[in-house]
A and B are shown apart, each in its own frame.
Chain A
Amino acid sequence: MSDITIKITDREGVVHEVQAPTDMAMNVMELVKAYELAPEGTIGICGGMAMCASCQCYVKSDHTLPEMTPDEDAMLAEAFYVKDNSRLGCQIQLTDDLEGLEIELAPES
């Protein structure tokens, strides 16, 4: 029950080091919204159901992340700007294991 530190590079290239709670069932997409690191309406459009790719991010650190679900995998198959380290922020739950996670928000598409 503690906060972890996460580094998020926004779409302007600015790096933000934020404290993320691990006891609120939050995911990375919700964290980005909470800190207003992307304009409202440009992230988490589907609400976090892996049904849009507006929260796509590139994972830059070597943390072990939750395995990709078929829904996330399929969504990324249709998204743009996809790289090998692409994930949907809404599918990454914040846990203590993610201390020091570094991500970059993919461009808006």
Chain B
Amino acid sequence: MIKTDILIIGAGPTGLFTVFEAGLLKLKCHLIDALPQPGGQCAEIYPKKPIYDIPGFPEVLAGDLVDNLMKQITPFEPGFTLGERADTIEKLDDGSFIVTTNKGTKHHAPVVAIAGGLGSFEPRKPLIENLAGYEDKGVEYIIRDPELYRDKCVVIAGGGDSALDWSIFLSEVASEVTLVHRRNEFRGALDSVEKVQELKKLGKINLLTPAEITELEGNGKLEAVIAEKEGERIRLETDHFIPLFGLAPKLGPIAGWGLEIEKNAIKVDNTLDYQTNVPGIYAIGDVNTYPGKLKLILCGFHEATLMCQSAYQRIFPDKKYVMKYTTVSGIDGFDGTRKEAPKAVVKAIE
């Protein structure tokens, strides 16, 4: 069981900044995210896109913002459960919570902060009949362990970076790799496209374009896929079919946690602390809604700051905390580091 003061669901910018604000109050944080890396949408959808409305940064790439946030929270030693989706929540008699992920990892905290953005990212699934019947029986949407494909036949579908990169990687692992894409052109990085072209010439990747996988065949386990190429049906025997069409956010299991939902977002009672209708569960950033809500990263930062003050009072109801400025009080990291403004030198003038 992982224990922490504030359990943050969602490791996007708002979730990450919460660690900093909580750290100033000497509260430890642990983050859960369905994605395998922190950063949320910024890291997953547009890491190379510039953002222009972060105060103090005239222009910053989304990926660089995430890197900076990670650097900023390092002294507060957050824990991470990545690549797992928060599935269930249980409220204990003492008012604390146990959150369990889809892989069974349990987390215990007196306060839960949902900073889940638009929700957890789920694979976008192609429109193939009986696809669900072959999930984990030859159909996988995320490659977790490349060794699963060693000396196996693999068909990958998609035209982006993931499809290209995994085709290249698995060409050294699988016995046969076929990449299927609806068009002849790929939208991935140029060097990846060129590498696939080179591997095709060497006979290490079969390229099937313009084509689409339209049917799956098998008996309890995937045995073949049917590709349609310019009106022709082509049967490809394979052990695995990996559709890589990106990820789309879904609110997911959080929607069933008994929280008030409005317009696909979690309603918060007030804008004093962004607490939900369940005391002890807060919702901050793009995942929440209230009159006047703006879905902006900087609003998420503000909400995280107020939420942490409220969380402190919930955890320590008998203590009075006075807000301090980092310019005055500095930062005491849990790792023993201390940052503070240099002291003025006092010298007498003779």
Contact = CB atoms under 8 A, between A and B. Distances in A.
Nearest to A36: B263
Interface in B167-199: 181-183, 185, 187
Interface residues of A, number: 21
Interface stretch (A5-13, A38-46, A83-91, A94-102): A38-46
B189 to A, nearest CB: 12
Interface in A51-101: 51-52, 54, 70-71, 74-75, 77-78, 80-81
B184 to A, nearest CB: 10
Nearest to A41: B264
Interface in B230-270: 245-246, 248-249, 251, 263-265
A41 B185 contact: no
Given A40-B265, A109-B124, A78 B159 contact: yes
B138 interface: no
B160 interface: yes
Contact of A77 (B119, B124, B187, B264): B187
A47 B46 CA distance: 10
Contacts of A42: 264
Interface in A5-47: 36, 39-42, 45-47
Nearest to B183: A77
B118 A41 contact: yes
A46 B62 CA distance: 12
A74 B184 CA distance: 11
A41 B264 CA distance: 6
Given A41-B119, A109-B124, A78 B49 contact: no
A109 B249 CA distance: 11
A70 B190 CA distance: 14
B49 A49 contact: yes
Contacts of A52: 45, 246, 248
B349 interface: no
B336 to A, nearest CB: 40
A36 B160 CA distance: 31
Contacts, number: 60
A41 B46 contact: no
A109 B125 CA distance: 8
B13 interface: no
A39 B289 CA distance: 13
A74 to B, nearest CB: 3
Contact of B46 (A39, A40, A46, A54): A46
A104 to B, nearest CB: 18
B126 interface: yes
Contacts of B251: 41
Interface residues of B, number: 26
B160 A78 contact: yes
A81 B263 contact: no
Contacts of B45: 45-46, 49, 51-52
B195 to A, nearest CB: 18
B12 interface: no
Interface string B72-115: 00000000000000000000000000000000000000000000
B127 interface: yes
B119 A51 contact: no
B300 interface: no
B63 interface: no
B119 to A, nearest CB: 7
B158 interface: yes
B127 A81 contact: yes
Contact of B263 (A40, A45, A54, A71): A40
A59 B160 CA distance: 25
A80 B46 contact: no
Contacts of B118: 41, 45
Contacts of A81: 127
Smallest CB-CB A-B distances: 5 pairs: A74-B187, A41-B264, A40-B263, A40-B264, A77-B183
Given A36-B263, A51-B46, A78-B246, 9 more contacts: A41-B249, A41-B264, A45-B249, A49-B46, A51-B49, A74-B159, A77-B187, A78-B158, A78-B182
